[in-house]
Amino acid sequence: MSNIPADANEHCPGPESAGAGKAAGCEGCPNQQICSTQASGPDPDLPLITQRLDQTHHKLLILSGKGGVGKSTFTAQLAFALSQTHEVGVVDIDVCGPSLPKIMGVEREDVHRSSNGWTPVFVSDSLSLMSIGFMLPDEDAAVIWRGPKKNGIIKQFLRDVDWPPLDFMLFDTPPGTSDEHLSVVQLLRDSGISGAVILTTPQEVALQDVRKEIDFCRKARVPIMGVVENMSGFVCPGCRHESAIFPPTTGGAQALCDELGIPLLGRIPLDPLVGRACDFGESFADSAPTSPAAVALAEIVKRIESLV
Ligand SMILES: Nc1ncnc2c1ncn2[C@@H]1O[C@H](COP(=O)(O)OP(=O)(O)OP(=O)(O)O)[C@@H](O)[C@H]1O
């Protein structure tokens, strides 16, 4: 069977078999968890998703091991930057903590339905967003859903949304490796994921979790585009002196990337203007184009464009 992972156990029954993840031969296999949580047999909706996304060129997952390292902020700012020259769609699959409507300045918008499906919310002519945040009765409403329901809404975002032709589709994910990650990997199995960008901060505790994300990508066969180190030093807006707020005691993301042979895409400093831009739903490349964070982001955007 061609779709048996290279690192699977010798007696792998096949990731789409009824016994996937549960058969005796699966014991101790590095892919056991991924296989046991997916439904057996190919999802009948995969051809519909592939058809919906056949005008979408590059699909990028934005991942992080820890929460609060700036994944949604980075996704939004990357989307703003790419949309200057490309058509960009963003899918917020952080189902229980959707923050992109606010960070992208469209929190009061509604999703409309037409005969072609749901219309995503347009942040600008070249930037659209789909998030469960648009469907909640109020901004304080909690989404408390188990895996199958999360899988259902992610599927709807891919199968039922009338996405325009896109150069980039970015997926903002929850921290860690959970139901949402497994769902998106399975749902994009046929249409393909171009790569994953992994966000971290310089502390060892965050870097340890990056190793888990890398392991997940390798098991799920998602190409790793590289790592972005966020909150990497603080440049004082007054004297421009750079301080290490989170000192990289073990060498930070650079040492980890060197060890694992993964590109470090760049380092974004802590910058109060970033927090401000998020609170106001703005692009900080527009609101503070000469700030160290905006300059660092621009370099990362160039690297990502060169890697796809
Ligand atoms: N480089 C930065 N400089 C200053 N503030 C930042 C920077 N990056 C992110 N922030 C701030 O850090 C906070 C957390 O960011 P964000 O919500 O993007 O993290 P997250 O990784 O998506 O969190 P979660 O995974 O829990 O959703 C936000 O208030 C954001 O404005």
pLDDT tens for the chain, residues 1 to 308: 446 676 778 878 877 677 788 888 888 888 787 777 665 667 888 999 999 999 999 999 999 999 999 999 999 999 999 999 999 999 999 988 899 999 999 998 989 888 889 999 999 999 999 999 998 877 777 777 776 788 889 999 999 999 999 999 999 999 998 888 989 999 999 999 999 999 999 988 888 899 999 999 998 999 999 999 999 888 787 777 778 877 777 778 999 999 999 999 999 999 888 888 889 999 988 988 988 899 999 999 999 999 99
Tokens of 79: 């989307």
Comparing C-alpha atoms, which of 169, 260, 255, 267 is closest to residue 214? 260
- Asked if residue 26 is part of any domain, the answer here is no
* 10-48 residue pLDDT tens: 878 877 677 788 888 888 888 787 777 665 667 888 999
- Sequence-distant (≥ 6) Cβ neighbours of residue 57 within 8 angstroms: 166, 167, 168, 194, 308
- Asked if residue 156 is part of any domain, the answer here is yes
The ligand 1 site (C-beta within 6 Å) comprises 64, 67-73, 94, 97, 99, 175, 230-231, 268, 270-271, 274-275, 278, 293
Q: Are 56 and 148 in contact (CB under 8 A)?
A: no
Instruction: Please count the other Cβ atoms lying within 10 Å of the Cβ belonging to residue 149.
Output: 13
- Asked if residue 38 is part of any domain, the answer here is no
pLDDT value of position 145: 75
- Asked if residue 2 is part of any domain, the answer here is no
Q: Are 172 and 93 in contact (CB under 8 A)?
A: yes
Phi, psi of 51 (to 5 degrees): -65, -45
- Asked if residue 93 is part of any domain, the answer here is yes
- For residues 308 and 200, what is the distance between their CA atoms, to the nearest angstrom? 21
pLDDT value of position 242: 75
- Asked if residue 24 is part of any domain, the answer here is no
Comparing C-alpha atoms, which of 158, 216, 169, 223 is closest to residue 37? 216
Q: What CATH code is carried by the domain that includes residue 153?
A: 3.40.50.300
Residue 285 lies in domain: 52-307
Beta bridge partners of 60: 170, 195
- For residues 48 and 270, what is the distance between their CA atoms, to the nearest angstrom? 42
What's the CA-to-centroid distance between 49 and ligand 1, angstroms? 31
Pocket test of ligand 1: the residue of 62, 66, 73 to mutate, having most ligand atoms within 8 Å of its CB, is 73
Could you list the residues known to form a binding site for ATP, using ranges: 65-72
Overall domain count for the chain: 1
pLDDT value of position 262: 94
Specify the length of the chain in residues. 308
Q: Residue holding tokens 């982001």?
A: 297
What's the CA-to-centroid distance between 74 and ligand 1, angstroms? 8
- Sequence-distant (≥ 6) Cβ neighbours of residue 1 within 8 angstroms: 14
Q: Are 166 and 202 in contact (CB under 8 A)?
A: no
pLDDT value of position 170: 98
Angle at alpha carbon of residue 42, lines to 131 and 10, rounded to 5°: 115
* 61-84 residue pLDDT tens: 999 999 999 999 999 999 999 999
Comparing C-alpha atoms, which of 246, 245, 229, 249 is closest to residue 293? 229
Q: 103 vs 176, 234, 263, 278, 303, CA distance in Å?
A: 21, 21, 27, 5, 23
Q: Are 16 and 40 in contact (CB under 8 A)?
A: yes
- Asked if residue 16 is part of any domain, the answer here is no
Could you list the residues known to form a binding site, using ranges: 12, 26, 29, 35, 65-72, 236, 239
Q: Are 118 and 148 in contact (CB under 8 A)?
A: no
pLDDT value of position 305: 96
pLDDT value of position 2: 46
Q: Are 36 and 170 in contact (CB under 8 A)?
A: no
- Asked if residue 37 is part of any domain, the answer here is no
